[in-house]
Amino acid sequence: QAFFSGRCDGLITDASALAAVRATQAQNPDDYVIFPASGHSEALTPSVRHGDDRWFDIVKWVIQVPIAAEDMGITQANVDDMLKSDDPRIARFLGTEPGNGKALGLDERWAYNIVKQLGNYGEIFERNVGKNSPMKLERGMNRLYRDGGLMYPYVFN
């Protein structure tokens, strides 16, 4: 409130928090610029209760699904067509070749269901915090490794 009322000249916090403030509290969000922090990175990730190894494994792999989907070119729009892929990586990933679901105690189509309902990482990012959202954040280091970012998926074997 002090910032938007002109009682202070700047607001400093995490870029996603700044974007949320700009999107929800500014009368004219396009009037405000978020400057990127240089040399600063902060890993944000879910956490689970210590000792719940099964839940930890599920959470860890669920986070990887959208990243791997983007890396393999699987989107919310094409995931049904990808079920017909001859690529063994995609077949294992989407559950048409069984094994991954059973290993986690989940349905074999668990990864397919995530992509079908939510999309890949790029789609999720853009829709929720990226350029296509009210927050309008650049992907920056949240890009895939091949695009200069830090997002590198686990291998689904």
Backbone angles phi, psi at 71, to 5 degrees: -60, -35
Inform me whether the pLDDT recorded for 38 exceeds 70: no
Q: Which residue has the higher pLDDT, 140 or 107?
A: 107
pTM for this prediction: 0.85
For the chain, the domains span 1-42, 53-147
> Could you please report the per-residue DSSP string of 39-102?
S----------TT-HHHHHHHHHHHHHHHHHHHHT--TTTHHHHTT---HHHHHHHTSS-SHHH
The pLDDT of 15-37, averaged and rounded, is 88
Buried b (16+ CB within 10 A) or exposed e, 37-65: eeeeeeeeeeeeeeeeeeeeebeebebbb
The pLDDT of 135-146, averaged and rounded, is 93
Alpha carbon distance 79, 129 (integer Å):
23
Q: What is the pLDDT of residues 121-136, one digit of tens each?
A: 999 999 999 998 999 9
- For residues 87 and 96, is the Cβ–Cβ distance under 8 A? no
Q: What percent of the chain has pLDDT over 90?
A: 71
Average pLDDT, whole number, for the chain?
Answer: 92
Inform me whether the pLDDT recorded for 44 exceeds 80: no
Inform me whether the pLDDT recorded for 40 exceeds 70: no
Q: What is the pLDDT of residues 100-121, one digit of tens each?
A: 999 999 999 999 999 999 999 9
